Amino acid sequence: MMKWPAALAVVVGSTAGIVGVTALPSDAATTLTVAADGSGQYKTVQAAVNAVAANNASRATINIKAGTYREIVTVPSNKPYITLNGTGSGPSNVVIVNNRSNAGGYGTFGSATVTVNAKEFIAQNLTFANDYGEGSQAVAINMNGDKGIYRNVRFLGNQDTLLANTKRQYIASSYVEGTVDFIFGDATAVFNATSIYQKRSTGGPLTAARTPSSNTYGFLIYKCTITGRTNNTTQLGRPWGANAQVLFRESSLSATIATSQPWINMSSNSWKNARFSEYLNTGTGAAINSNRPQLNSSTAANYTPQKYLAGSDGWNPVG
């Protein structure tokens, strides 16, 4: 069990008599409540985030009651240690959703329903979604702050659902769905025991990493379950950046994987020049051939979740 600092809880929802929000002291342990039905302190998640003091030194927990929150949420870089905690019976009971898109003039990054710029952000037991539909990039979450943790979270969208944009991100026991490049970005990100679903009948690439050449680690898909709507149509990924690094390790790959060619090119970036590999995958989609580079056991010892996330401070959220 992970031990966190004393919680700062913010309840979103309006209560009779509450007119405004007063920021709490930066060193206060706080709990806030959000409720769409008005039974909490705030009705929107953003209002609760706004109530957290800038440069807070203690964890602020925002308990979100069951409901659908159609809004845009930004956690600024000067508000670290925020937890968004869904208090429903499961992640589908608390949904934060919007429908911005690149086609709508927001740009890919700006289309995000939720943007996290602060360090040590935690989300649990809720859903981040973009319901724009198909035809354009439309991001559900844009992860930027270092040491982000997402547990029991659903990420729903189509093209470009989950942007692991920078720093270190840990996604565990969660669910991600989309159509094209729906796990993408420059970050070092570990997906642990997570279900990944290709929802388009014609398939498409799951990942589009743009790992900087100076970074050893990009995306690790570890002990995950990969499924899709149709068979032999889904690619493991393509390189958004020429030096993209992606490893599918000890994961269950269903028949949705295009077994003969699971890595493809992107623009001028060749999958053969990218750092793409697999290790000890199982399932119908886990065939081994000349188009599927495999790590050996000696090399694999340096490509564990702990190695990906340790950085210079020894961070280990895997626990």
Q: In the sheet where 73-75 sits, what is the strand order?
A: 73-75, 114-116, 141-143, 162-164, 183-185, 204-209, 234-237
- Tokens representing 235? 């690619």
Active site residue 181: yes
Which residue in 27, 131, 160, 313 is the catalytic one?
A: 160
Helix (H, G, I), strand (E, B) or coil at 17: coil
- The catalytic residue among 27, 181, 186, 313 is 181
Band (pLDDT 50/70/90 cuts) for residue 319 is confident
Quote the CA–CA distance of 213 and 275 in Å, as a whole number: 10
pLDDT value of residue 27: 52
CATH of span 66-310: 2.160.20.10
pLDDT digits (tens, 9 = 90+) for 166-200: 999 999 999 999 999 999 999 999 999 999 999 99
Please provide the size of the chain in residues: 319
pTM comes to 0.92
Q: Is 252 exposed, middle or buried (0-12, 13-18, 19+ CB in 10 A)?
A: middle
